[in-house]
Amino acid sequence: MGRYRLASAGILLLIFVNSCSINYDEAMLGNKILENTPDTILYSFMYTDCENGHKNFSIYADKAETFDQKQQTVLQGLVFQQFDDNNNIITEGKADRGIIFTESNNVEITGNLIIYSSREESRINTSYLYWDNDTKTLSGKPDKTITITKDSGTIIRGKGFTGDMKEKTYTLTSDVSGEYMYEEN
């Protein structure tokens, strides 16, 4: 009788093992939900980067969400300012949304983006820019139009924008048009 029970238990275990499976998709879905859930949500966010008592830049946002696992901070209703050595604003801008990639300090900015530089005496309007912190370059997408308006009246539009901030050179690769106003020095 004991053998029969063991054999029955063994068959039952065999049937149970062969009919049971673990659904890893559900476990992965849980990780995806965690990855897309902010670790912190802040309203009326403000961050100022300072070095030796000098403000380098400030970022303000209506809402900031940090994602530690993705190493990102997502900003909604973004305003930013860059300062010179005397703490005067030299560049300021705003956009609907920004993502700061916290490991590299690269930034992706989207939606109704306007930047004004008092040093360059110019304004940039576009819907997308990407800041590469290592190379100090701004770039747009090949299909996104950017408009550069100088205080002198020069207006240039085009797509495929790249700006090298160290060299102070700007490139547009397609659909370039506009009007250049000659300035005598």
**Domain locations in the chain?**
34-119, 134-185
The residues pairing with 155 across neighbouring beta strands, listed in sequence order, are 149, 179
Alpha-carbon span 140 to 128, nearest angstrom = 6
pLDDT in tens, 60-96: 999 999 999 999 999 999 999 999 989 999 999 999 9
Predicted local distance difference test score (pLDDT) of residue 62:
97
More confident residue, 71 or 185: 71
Exposed (0-12), middle (13-18) or buried (19+): which is 115, by Cβ within 10 Å?
buried
What is the per-residue burial (b if ≥16 Cβ within 10 Å, else e) of 142-164? eeebbebbeeeebebbbbbbebe
pLDDT in tens, 21-48: 555 565 555 566 667 889 999 999 998 8
Predicted local distance difference test score (pLDDT) of residue 53:
83
- The answer to whether 73 and 99 have CB atoms below 8 angstroms apart is yes
Helix (H) / strand (E) containing 30: helix 24-35
Predicted local distance difference test score (pLDDT) of residue 14:
42
Alpha-carbon span 58 to 78, nearest angstrom = 11
pTM: 0.76
Predicted local distance difference test score (pLDDT) of residue 145:
96
| Phi, psi (rounded to 5 degrees) for 27 | -65, -40
